[in-house]
């Protein structure tokens, strides 16, 4: 039997999965052939299998560098549940524990060693590593090595030299969910990858449904509350832009009897971790958090992520929203926004730029951030497919249809309104004005306002005065959209004023059109309802759903007794399949995706028992 056949067998026996996903297969094959690998795969694509299976198939052990101490014990548990012997080394261990573990490693008795970069780069450990039988070094969250990445960790830069110092260089695998060209270049050079096989699985997450809803601040909390109440069995995350808002939303949910947790930067570390544990263990339903929450959350059954505010970039949004649906089951990502969000983000960028004004390159950084923000604003306004918009942003649209059928805009909540004429009138006014004015004044001029402010300045004598017969509120939105698309620029400085943007000249061309999303309330509600009723991959009905709930309760009881998160026992997806297949003998139980031999041994009796008594009980 070849090594790869062995790997396939291990996948089936230990993890209970029928086959590798395409990216996994590529990565596993490459490592087994002794090649280096750079794997760029989105959250939920199944990165851990890429090193866990080779670790079990190869003679030597896999050293897995991971930045997240909080995850390690769960990761080790998950390995052991798959019959893979795993240990972790980090600063939380006592000296004696460390000694025991290192002895086991020397005796080549472990398959997988999770270690923090800080531990790995200590000279004492590096020296010890040279005596080990190492089959693979895997570097998780590899983007942390780059200053261009969003989570730079200096200790990552010590990993490359440690690998280079090994007497026999094992294959090296770098894994990340986010890598721009610059970051991947850094990963290659700083880790010293040798002609790595590059595995890219694409960023699309078909099971995520995207929604954008414009809403005044005053309605947001109620909207969130009613969504949460309408999904009482689902876990979710609510992201807020400020700590104060986190508290408000949290209080509101708790007041309404929802089991919620919260997470923000100014909380004591212990408190924060307790809230995080409760959420991971399914003891709370909703986590209300700032963007400090999420890195290292391995909760696979998050069914929705709601953003109370618009984030600063598409990157940030996709990463945060992407924490939903890691198990591949349907999940919803909902963005609530209004003009205040744009104003606040712009203010933050300006303030940061002002603070850093003396630093070289600060202005450039500010301009970069404006561009990131512009794309985010365009996302809010687009009437096109939201998935296409996001993937287009990451340069990945070729393979996608025009409409994905699984986002708010595709589910016909949105229609494009042609606002080209308004845009042309606004541009004419910008060009005609001798001194630039702010967004509100600009809209007032083209709409022909009779206010004293307009008359005093003789704006009513301009050619473009009163050239638009639409409400000023709509014109202000068009101005925002034009700025987001680069036709106008909304400048920073003491007063925000509107000037021509880099694409201003395009308005003079014949083919110019500009579409803006127009959503009637009824249509928006309809769209959301449609998505919510969209069935899961494994639709469950009546009795099956009842059984699923019972199995969930059983899973929770077992997890609590063992002190592990429920997903370590079985994922929601596996439980759904169980509820649908209703296995009552070992072969049938093993046939459920996600059930390997170790899990059969650990949990088979209890779960099959529950299924049997459920089947024997008379239906109501």
Binding to ligand ADP by residue 75, rule CB under 6 A?
A: no
Tell me if 319 contacts ligand ADP by CB under 6 A: no
Report residue 340 as tokens: 């205040």
By a kind-dependent CB cut-off of 5 to 8 A, residue 52 interacts, out of ligand ADP, Zn ion, none, with none
Least gap, CB of 19 to ligand ADP (angstroms): 6
User: Given the complex with ligand ADP, which of 25 and 485 has the nearer CB atom?
Assistant: 25
Q: Collect all residues with Cβ–Cβ distance below 8 Å to 521 and sequence separation of at least 6.
A: none
Q: Would you give the binding string for ligand ADP spanning residues 514-553, x where CB under 6 A is met?
A: ----------------------------------------
What part of residues 431-460 is at the interface with Zn ion (CB under 5 A)?
A: none
Nearest in space to 306 (alpha carbons), one of 245, 374, 227: 227
Cα–Cα distance, 359 to 332 (Å, whole number): 41
Q: Which two tokens stand for residue 153?
A: 């960790």
Q: Is 8 in the site for ligand ADP (CB under 6 A)?
A: no
Nearest distance from residue 232's CB to ligand ADP, in Å?
23
Which of 188, 303, 387, 599 binds Zn ion (CB under 5 A)? It is: 387
Query: Whole-angstrom Cα distance, residue 566 to residue 568?
Result: 5
The residue (of 249 and 404) whose beta carbon lies closer to Zn ion is 404
Cβ-contact 333, 389 below 8 angstroms: no
Cα end-to-end distance, the chain, whole Å: 52
Does position 220 interact with ligand ADP (CB under 6 A)? The reply is no
* Binding-site member from 204, 327, 444, 485 for ligand ADP (CB under 6 A): 327
Q: Please classify residue 278 by burial: count the beta carbons closer than 10 Å to its beta carbon, then call 0-12 exposed, 13-18 middle and 19+ buried.
A: middle
* 589, 598 contact by CB (below 8 A): no
Residues 82 and 85: their CA atoms lie apart, in Å, by: 9
Nearest to 98 by CA among 87, 109, 84, 83: 87
Q: How far is the CB of 310 from ligand ADP (least distance, A)?
A: 25
Residue 546 is encoded by which pair of tokens? 């009842």
Q: Would you list the DSSP string of 342-370?
A: HHHHHHHHHHHHHHTTTSTTHHHHHHHHH
**Residue 531 touching Zn ion (CB under 5 A):** no
When binding is defined by CB under 6 A, the residue of 27, 30, 39, 45 that contacts ligand ADP is 45
Smaller CB distance to ligand ADP: residue 205 or 262? 205
Let me know: does 324 contact 208? Beta carbons within 8 Å: yes
* 84 is an interface residue for Zn ion by CB under 5 A: no
| CA distance linking residue 500 with residue 510, whole number of Å | 18
Q: Does 528 bind Zn ion (CB under 5 A)?
A: no
Q: How far is the CB of 24 from ligand ADP (least distance, A)?
A: 6
- Give the total of residues touching ligand ADP (CB under 6 A): 17
Residue 385 interacting with Zn ion (CB under 5 A) = yes
Per-position x/- string for 393-432, each x denoting binding to Zn ion as judged by CB under 5 A, each - no binding? -----------x--x--x----------------------
* Partner from ligand ADP, Zn ion, none contacting 410, C-beta within 5 to 8 A by type: Zn ion
Chosen residue from 308, 326, 476, 517 binding ligand ADP by CB under 6 A: 326
Residues that bind Zn ion (CB under 5 A): 385, 387, 404, 407, 410
């Amino acid at each position: 039997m070849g090594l790869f056949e062995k790997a396939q067998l291990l996948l089936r026996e230990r993890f209970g999965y029928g086959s590798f996903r395409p990216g996994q297969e590529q990565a596993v094959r490459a490592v087994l052939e002794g090649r280096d690998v750079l794997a760029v795969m989105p959250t939920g694509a199944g990165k851990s299998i890429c090193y866990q299976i080779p670790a079990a198939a190869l003679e030597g052990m896999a050293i897995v560098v991971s930045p997240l101490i909080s995850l390690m014990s769960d990761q080790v548990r998950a390995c052991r549940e798959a019959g893979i012997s795993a240990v972790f080394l980090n600063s939380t261990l006592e000296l004696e524990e460390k000694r025991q573990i290192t002895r086991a490693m020397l005796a080549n008795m472990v398959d997988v060693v999770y270690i923090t970069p800080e531990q790995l780069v200590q000279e004492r450990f590096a020296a010890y590593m040279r005596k080990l039988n190492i089959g693979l070094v895997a570097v998780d969250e590899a983007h942390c090595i780059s200053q261009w990445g969003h989570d730079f960790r200096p200790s990552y830069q010590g990993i490359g030299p440690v690998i280079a110092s090994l007497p026999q260089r094992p294959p090296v695998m770098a894994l990340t969910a986010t890598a721009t060209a610059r970051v991947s270049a850094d990963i290659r050079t700083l880790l010293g990858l040798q002609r790595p096989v590059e595995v890219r699985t694409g960023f699309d997450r078909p099971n995520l449904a995207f929604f954008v809803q414009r809403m005044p601040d005053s309605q947001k909390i109620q909207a969130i509350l009613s969504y949460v109440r309408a999904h009482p069995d689902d876990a979710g995350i609510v992201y807020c832009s400020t700590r104060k808002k986190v508290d408000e939303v949290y209080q509101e949910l708790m007041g309404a009897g929802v089991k919620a947790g919260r997470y923000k930067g100014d909380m004591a570390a212990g408190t924060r971790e307790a809230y995080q544990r409760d959420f991971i263990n399914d003891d709370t339903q909703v986590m209300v958090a700032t963007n400090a929450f999420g890195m290292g959350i391995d909760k696979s059954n998050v069914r929705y992520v709601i953003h109370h505010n618009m984030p600063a970039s598409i990157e940030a949004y996709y990463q945060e929203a992407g924490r939903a649906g890691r198990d591949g089951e349907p999940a919803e990502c909902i963005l609530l926004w209004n003009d205040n969000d744009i104003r606040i983000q712009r203010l933050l960028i300006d303030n940061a730029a002002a603070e850093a004004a003396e630093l070289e390159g600060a202005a450039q950084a500010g301009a970069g951030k404006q561009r990131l923000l512009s794309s985010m604003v365009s996302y809010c306004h687009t009437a096109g497919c939201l998935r296409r918009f996001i993937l287009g942003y990451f340069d990945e649209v070729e393979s996608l249809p025009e409409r994905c059928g699984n986002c708010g805009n595709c589910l016909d909540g949105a229609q494009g309104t042609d606002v080209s004429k308004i845009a042309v009138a606004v541009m004419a006014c910008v060009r005609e004005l001798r001194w630039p004015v702010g967004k509100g004044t600009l809209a007032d001029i083209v709409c022909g306002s009779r206010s004293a402010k307009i008359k005093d300045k003789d704006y009513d004598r301009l050619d473009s005065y009163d050239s638009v017969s639409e409400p000023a509120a709509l014109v202000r939105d068009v101005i925002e959209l034009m700025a987001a698309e680069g036709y106008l620029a909304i400048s920073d400085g003491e007063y925000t004023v509107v000037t021509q943007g880099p694409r201003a000249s395009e308005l003079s061309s014949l083919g110019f059109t500009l579409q803006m999303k127009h959503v009637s309330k009824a249509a928006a509600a309809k769209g959301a309802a449609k998505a919510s009723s969209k069935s899961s991959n494994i639709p469950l009905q009546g009795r099956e759903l009842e059984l699923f709930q019972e199995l969930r309760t059983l899973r929770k009881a077992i997890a609590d007794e063992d002190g592990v998160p429920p997903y370590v026992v079985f994922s929601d997806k596996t439980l759904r399949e169980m509820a649908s297949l209703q296995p009552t003998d070992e072969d049938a139980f093993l046939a459920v995706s996600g059930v390997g031999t170790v899990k059969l041994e650990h949990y088979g009796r209890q779960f099959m028992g529950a299924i049997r008594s459920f089947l024997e009980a008379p239906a109501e």
